[in-house]
A and B are shown apart, each in its own frame.
Chain A
Amino acid sequence: MKIMTCPLNGPRNIQEFQCGGPVKAMPGAQDSDTAWADYVFLDENPRGFVREWWCHLPSSYWFIAERDTATDAILKTYPASELFAPEKTVGGSQ
């Protein structure tokens, strides 16, 4: 069984988690439909390092996980507040 460490709940079976896709910057309201379509529908799917949203389903807790897609190793998990200011709900800082 693969284990992921939830920043809130500790080590848990990977079955308790759901991936929410890569962390990326949200376009602004003035940006084009193309930019929004790219944001909503398209992902880079790179080989190697990725930074993603994950959710621990029993506690509905969303956090950030860094993975290597080549080795499928989970490199690091941490609260989203480490990446985003508490009052800031949009935007990315990759």
Chain B
Amino acid sequence: MIQLNHASKSYGSKVVLQDICLNLNKGDVVGLLGPSGSGKSTILGLIAKVIQPDRGGCGTASDHIGYVFQDHRLLPWKTALENVLFALEATSDKSSQSNMKQRARKALTDVGLEKATHYFPKQLSGGMCQRVSIARAFAIEPDILLLDEPLSALDSSRRSSILADLKRMIRQRPDMAVIYVTHNRNELADIVKYTYEISGGQLLLADKSI
């Protein structure tokens, strides 16, 4: 589903990734740990094709990629429903508008925001915005889900409930390949198959949970 083949990436003189190899199949859920600036988000950027490797290659079996950023990255001029629809319109094959709206509403209901569909990001709390961002990622029924420290911008009281929802939604889609980037090893408990650690531009297998 995801294949990183000896991929390297540098920013100026700083080597961020060096000769990285990673192979993920359908249903693989892996954690990616590492300090800030170690290149975790760059790996996700390579997979999402918003960053090009300097050397090596990166391939994905599907373009249906859901991405939950550290900051929610909701369009401030769109309501929660419209933000989810934005991703659906961009990725969906010729679905009708009413069908897309139905899917967007269902995704928002799944994250507990059925009553907030018409609110703008400014009117929502940080936790609710991140829930909309999660709904946006799941609404497109992704084959690949990339989670880039999805809880790190939230206070601890909101983290546990969002994490529980996130894990439930991942389990409901057993065919989806997931990479979960985090600082916090505890967030990966009960869900990941492997945990990788990135250090000095190298990807190291840190833990095999199953």
A and B, one complex?
no
